Structures are given as structure tokens and as C-alpha cells.
Amino acid sequence: MTTTINENSHPALVGSLRPASPSVKLINFSPGPTSLPKAVEDEIAASFQKPGLTSLALSHRSPEFLDILNHVTSSVRRIMEIPDDYEVLFTHGGGHGQFAAVPLNLCHNTSDVATYIVNGTWTERASEEAQRYCTVQAIDGRDPQTGGYTTFPELKEEDIDPKSKYVFLCSNETVNGVELHRLPRLPESRREIPLVIDASSDFTTKPIDWHADGVGVLFACASKNIGHPGVTLTIVRKDLLGKDKASPFCPGVFNYTTNVEADNLWNTAATFNIEVVSFLMDWLEREGGVAENERRSIAKSRILYDVIDNSDGFYSTPVQDKKLRSRMNIPFNIKGGDEKLTEEFLIQSWNEGIVGLRTLTPFGVGDYLRASLYNAITEEDAAALADFMQQFASKYSA
């Protein structure tokens, strides 16, 4: 259902991200695209003050850009401990592009089977897209009691076709607030089937055991945790490459083998966007790498979940299993979804510079507000939202 925006609505109610006044500092909790860490934004700004051409004007085949590409590729490999038997690609089309690219690369025929673990908005959409290119067998991840996407299903041998070309899952369902803090292991008899991971919203926030977890493909669109919209980091295990493996209808721009053989330069690369990923990776390494980033992610999310869990029901969140609660995206409602109180919350928080908690989509505004705690959000930012939530609850809980 499409939401009609009333032009006379308060800016906070239509998803405005501008400050209430020039003096108000913004804290952007948007689910993506979202802000970059301030230090990264400063480094990007400084790069535009240097003599010579910036990455906005560099040819993707110039030695200057090749230096950028080589640097970011080696940085990603080092920081995320990506083994040598994986290729690192910078692909086009965002996460939605990979919803098509994955089956087009891993399924030669439409009769080839792929298993999708559907436990949220993005795996649902990914499986629908894949049905155009292969035969999808879905594992239903809905909570059997509530019918909602608030859990993750047990992976049983009998539910995974042994002929599956891959098993697809999303490690963090941003809309539903369900996160796998470590990747699941397939049943032993299915371990040879490669895992395909949509890690768009949690990449860099926790370690990945590439071989032990059986990762075949992992992709992350940049606009949540690693950069600017317009490029997707796609990591592919080498044994899955080959001209004879992809669908004959796979476009060159999506073909993993074609792009690997062309060293990421089969067509014009997103030069500026790739350099932004490079700046982010350098920042992450200076900050202590993935281990420190995971510590911060745990701390930030705990600050907000503590407020929700100790609010005597004033706030609630749909995911009750704390082992599955997302550290990246925290959905919450106010007094069971009281709309007038929710609107008041949005207006008052917007006046305080707290923005991005409700975004308009083609499907409406959703049943929950959502605080997204990507790399740009600090522990102090999370504490500022928590303080506001506590003050608001104290005022309106009666």
C-alpha cells in the first residue's frame, strides 16, 4: 500500500533529514543510504582540496585509479581476512542487482535448484527475483506462532535439496530486526553446497570464517556500512567461476567470471564510490578493525535494547530472542503502536536533531520505527537517542 504524503505534514512525519534549525546537530539513524563516519567525510572533503584530478574525474583505466582499486582490494582482503581462493569484485546494481546476478552466475539452467531461507523482507524479495532464473525451494522462516519474520529457522537436512546450487540467506534483515551474529553451519550432509550471503547491512561489523562457514558468494551494497550508494562489494569463491557455469543469458555486467578476467574493469567502474570504500576501510583499520567494530556494535545496540526492555512496555521490539536481535537495525514501537504518540515522538526527536527513525517507502511506513546503528553512529549517538527515549517515556507513560 502506497503512502500519500500530505504536503502540509510536519517534516518529521514525511521522513525529513534536514535539521530543525541551523544550530541543531543531526544524528542520522537512517536505514540506508546513511551517513559516513565523520572522519571519513572529512577525508573525502580533504581529497578535493588536493592538486590534480579527483576520483570523480579519473579514467577507470588510469594508473591513478588503478592505485586506488589495488589499495581498496588489498585493504578489504586484509581487514576481512578474505582467503586467496576468493575474488573481490566491485559490482553495479546494488543488492537488487545481486538478487539477479547470483542465480544467473550459479545456475546454468532454469531447472537448477537453489534453496532460499526466507525470514524477512530482503530474502523474500531475493527469492522472488531468483524465480526468474532458477527453481527456488524456500525454507519458510516465519514464526509459526505469530506468522511474522522474527526468528531464523532450523536448517534441517530434509529441507535442503542436495542438488541445490547454493543456499541463500541474509545475515541481517534490516526491516525485521533479525541478525545472525555468526553464520550458521549447514547440516553435515549439505556442507558441500555453497552459502550465498546478503551481508549488505552488517559487513565489517563481525568476523567471517569463510572456509568453515562454506561461503561461496557474499555481497554488500555500500550504502549502509562501507561507503556511498552506487557500488556493491561482491566476494566470490574461485571454484564457482567459469564460463560454462553461468546462465547463457547472464549479462556481461553481472557475470562474475567476465569481471574477474577483466580485473574489475570490464566496463566503467564507479570510481568515486570505490574510493569512498577505500577511505572507509582505512578508517576501520585505524579504529581497530573488525574486532573493535563488533565491540562497538554490541555496545551501541545494548544501550537501546536496555531502554526498550526496561520501559515496562512503553516501548517494544518484535524480536524476543535476544540471540537473534539485530545490532544494526532496532525496530521499536511506542505503546503498542499508538500513532498519535508515535507522531509526537517523531516530531520531538526531529527537533532534537534525531532523524531517520521513520522512512517512507512504496509499501508505507511500517509498523515500527527503526534505529539503524551503522558505522557512522557512535556510542554517544546511541546514548543520545536512549536519553531522549527515556525522557519521552517518563513524560507520556501515564
CA distance 167 to 190: 10
CA count, 13 A, side-chain hemisphere, 37: 20
Q: Is 66 exposed, middle or buried (0-12, 13-18, 19+ CB in 10 A)?
A: middle
CA distance 274 to 284: 15
Q: Tell me which of 122, 202, 335, 350 is the catalytic residue.
A: 122
| CA-wise closest residue to 245 among 232, 260, 231, 234 | 260
- Helix (H) or strand (E) holding 198, with range, is strand 195-198
**Could you confirm whether 159 is annotated as catalytic?**
no
Side chain identity, residue 334: I
Q: Tell me which of 165, 198, 202, 335 is the catalytic residue.
A: 198
Q: Tell me which of 165, 206, 224, 300 is the catalytic residue.
A: 224
CA distance 71 to 74: 5
CA distance 241 to 237: 7
**Could you confirm whether 338 is annotated as catalytic?**
no
**Could you confirm whether 122 is annotated as catalytic?**
yes
The separation between CA 4 and the C-alpha centre of its own chain, rounded to angstroms, equals: 27
- C-alpha grid cell, residue 61: 583505466
CA distance 296 to 175: 21
| CA-wise closest residue to 301 among 280, 324, 281, 283 | 324
3-state DSSP assignment of residue 134: coil
Q: To 5 degrees, how large is the angle CA 37–CA 40–CA 45? A: 130
- C-alpha grid cell, residue 244: 560454462
Residues noted as catalytic? 122, 198, 224
